[in-house]
Structure 1
């Protein structure tokens, strides 16, 4: 009897699966939306752990050239990839209230991963985001300049010392030491000396955050594409051992500044801004987990993306000596005009070519080139398609940024595209390395400030030479197990001290 009952249940389940799968695989065809044929298990996600998602997004864009959107499946869940700047504008800005939340999320078993400003949704997101903006005002960023300059001096000394031995074998390692020091100190208020001591406590944290083994890769794949599995398998956005250490650091620094009861009028950094948020909270919503989640997200979202961008800027300049020379002349002129003992890049808006070099690098290598949202209501994409509430939507910025229709000769490194007289000609919403709309990157201005400062002083002090036989920038291999668009091979260059150095 039991065997008969089990057989009947099995048959019923098999029939349900067949019927359900039949509906799933016909979903986009019936709506007239172009699409790849889905895999019966993972849908469109066959690239995971084998190819960087940004490269897959570019392939999808080219395979369906001219299509304003393409249907995909996140396992059996239909989702839409947007390839049109006009639709991107509506999703990210005009109708942002419909697409206020991200699809990616963590779970109850991972409070730090689930509660940070990157992953959390409304209503907590609006509350946290509004209160954190105080840290990123122009005045607050100016107050961080002395700290950033101290780290920049350490960076110049480190490059000089390493270059005496020979070529720098891992450019990203040095850049990550720098961004760890800058962002670690800004976020946690702890003195970080990774450039001097690579085994510093904050560098240990960021090194663990950068490590992507199979388990961590699967955790991120679940958080980004099938969040329902997070609680089932107790997955986490951050490495769990790392978060234990970060919690101790956070608690120690809060205690050193007088605890949560010490009144704070004007926060000096992110740590004090978080303490002030808790002090002003009228309920129990702002727990220590919420505060720690923001500091951890700022660290993760800042140190690695900034280090990767900085690495690729320097690598591009090594292969483009004419751009490097033009940049050197610009920053040298600004330095000669400066009344400070060092070049304060924040006070020199005329560094337009430096900005253009950074922006062009971000055009080719945006760390997070696809932007996910989820529709809160049924939404009319155009006259041919309305998506139901709950549909994930991905804006394919990483592909639009290398479309020759928008950026002629997209494979060529041309900073001139972003000079003031040319930038105004760029079609809106074809360039979005920091996202756009209410959920754009909150740390964008901080990232630009730290990149400007470090890159300007490196160029003032060193010539950068490509090594014979090195991988060309456009052929750099990108991470497969991680989801950000970053190199996973060691990039080497030769730094040659200039005759007259600015920072020693």
Structure 2
């Protein structure tokens, strides 16, 4: 009985603490007073706006946030979940005020949910650590270095084209294109980020890819439940246990590659020293040196920094940055490419213009490698990519947690502690900026049409000091993959745009996939 009494007493104390904490937050803090002063769904103590989403499937919640809220509440509104308050705006001037700031650089509270996977890598780190890492990593994305990855983009794209030819059976069978694109981009990112070939396209069932998808789903469930703001409750939940299982796969994969690459780089250094000294190389060294010369992988650059100064980066630091690059350079690019291909397949007239541009550059040669010179000539294709990213930005959510008040141009004060959130899907459909915003029209990005447009009205890669460091990498990869695909196929999308159901995880996806028919050219 005494044990039961202690248990009940402890439980009551915990519940009392939680309720008191949320009631205080709701009634007395500046951020909640601010939240109640602006339009938005009803905010309740403890639950906040979460009640609005209760019982809704992901695709319905996505539609409500991205499409209905701007119509219902206007260009500025607020949300809350537990103790978290969110201010969101579709006004380019407001967005510029936040993203161009060198003060408001801390990511929003929800980015903490990704930290078990990505740690304090470039995406999630704050303050001086972020500044130091950004300065250190920026040279890794210099055009001359990215140019060395062209062979990887081409080789893996060709593998995907060959598999599509086999699986589509001359266009008789529809294929779910995002599955093919995801494995292709995984092969590309593993070679460019880790220096490791994993043949994901040929072997298909990748535990790493599965772990990424499942981790994303778990993360969304956590973000919508205020109780899971408390770490100990999350760890006790089934979602917390699932997260732990997926992290074991994700971290285990990266750690194993770090160990392998360290050994290879050590062997390479020994070989180089041996050759300089005029000595004989070992059999293992000769095998290593006989391997195909490849571009220096992102991980190799980090390992070289560590070798020069062991105190500069730990193995954990290297894993965090590599995992971040793997996530941002794989999942986001795969999703972007899937939406681009789907949209092109919906509009035969636009696809015809792409085919003409490719014909002018490559003629009838479907096998020639795409070069960096070719990329500069793919001007219409680039406009198609940009317009696709306008309608379906891979990253549907950007957020900063304010550490001091932010005063907007019209005098509105957003208090310290509020998360200023931006939904690019809303911003890119703002009718005050974009005429006929639902129309797919690549000509919006012709130079004469884009001239004078507010620079913060289009933010698929974010903007300002914390913009996406890998956007050049992504655009080069996307151009190569698309050039290889559309030199070989004419595509027809099975679904219509209006029938596609959007789901928001970390990435913007289609609920039921994107199916196309691929007819050989």
The TM-score normalised by the length of structure 1 is 0.84
The alpha carbon displacement at 1:290 in A equals 1.3
Match of 2:301 in 1: 273
| Cα distance in 1 between the residues matched to 2:471 and 2:351 | 24
Q: CA deviation at 1:131?
A: 1.4
- Asked whether the equivalents of residues 39 and 77 of structure 2 are also in contact (C-alpha less than 8 Å), the reply is yes
Q: For 1:297, what is the secondary structure of its paired residue? A: helix
Mapping of residues 484-495 of structure 1, within 5 Å? 484-495=507-518
Secondary structure of the residue aligned to 1:428 is coil
- Equivalent residue number for residue 471 of structure 1: 495
CA distance 1:75–1:111, change in 2 (3 Å): closer
Q: Comparing both structures, which one devotes a greater share of its residues to helix?
A: 2
Alpha carbons 2:185, 2:330 under 8 Å: kept: yes
Q: Partner of 1:34 in structure 2?
A: 39
The 8 Å contact of residues 396 and 506 in structure 2, kept in 1 or not, is answered as no
The 1-side partners of 2:200 and 2:11 are apart by 62
SS in 2 for 1:123: helix
Specify the SS of the correspondent of 1:186: helix
SS at structure 1 position matched to 2:399: strand
1:192 is displaced (CA, Å) by: 2.8
CA distance in 2: counterparts of 1:123 and 1:143, whole angstroms: 31
Report the Cα distance in structure 2 between the residues aligned to 1:170 and 1:337, rounded to whole angstroms: 27
2:87 aligned with 1:58 = no
TM-score of the superposed pair, with normalisation by structure 2: 0.82
2:414 to 380, 387, 397: 387
1 CA distance for matches of 2:144 and 2:442?
29
Quick one: distance in 2 between partners of 1:429 and 1:214?
Answer: 30
The match for 1:210 is 213
Q: Pairwise CA RMSD of aligned residues?
A: 3.6
For 1:17 and 1:182, the matched residues in 2 are separated by: 46
Deviations 1:75-104 (A, max 9, x none): 1332311221111111101x2323344433
Please give the per-residue CA displacement for 1:430-483, whole angstroms capped at 9, x wherever unaligned: 1101100111111111111111001012111111123xxx42124311225x23
Match of residue 260 from structure 2: 252
Distance 1:102 1:290, change over 3 A: farther
Closer, same or farther: CA 30–314 of 1 in aligned 2, 3 Å = closer
Determine if contact 1:465/1:493 at 8 Å carries over to the other structure.
yes
> Secondary structure, in 3 states, of the residue corresponding to 1:70?
strand
Aligned-residue offset at 1:9 = 7.2
1:106 counterpart = 2:112: yes
Q: Distance in 1 between matches of 2:359 and 2:308?
A: 46
* 1:164 counterpart = 2:169: yes
SS at match of 2:464: coil
1:501 aligned residue:
none
Shift in Å at residue 332 of structure 1?
A: 1.2
**Residue of structure 1 equivalent to 2:484:** 457
State the partner residue of 2:404. Answer: 377
Structure 1 regions of 5+ residues with no counterpart?
Answer: 499-504
User: For the Cα contact (< 8 Å) 1:267–1:273, is it kept in 2?
Assistant: no
In the superposition, relative to structure 1, how do residues 380 and 31 fare at CA in structure 2: closer, same or farther (>3 Å)?
A: farther
| Pairs aligned (count) | 482
Q: Once the 2 structures are TM-superposed, how far is the Cα of residue 135 of structure 1 from its aligned partner?
A: 1.9
Query: Which runs of structure 2 are paired with 1:140-289 in the superposition (5 Å)?
Result: 140-164=145-169, 166-199=172-205, 203-211=206-214, 215-219=218-222, 229-230=230-231, 233-234=234-235, 235=240, 239-258=247-266, 268-281=296-309, 283=311, 286-289=313-316
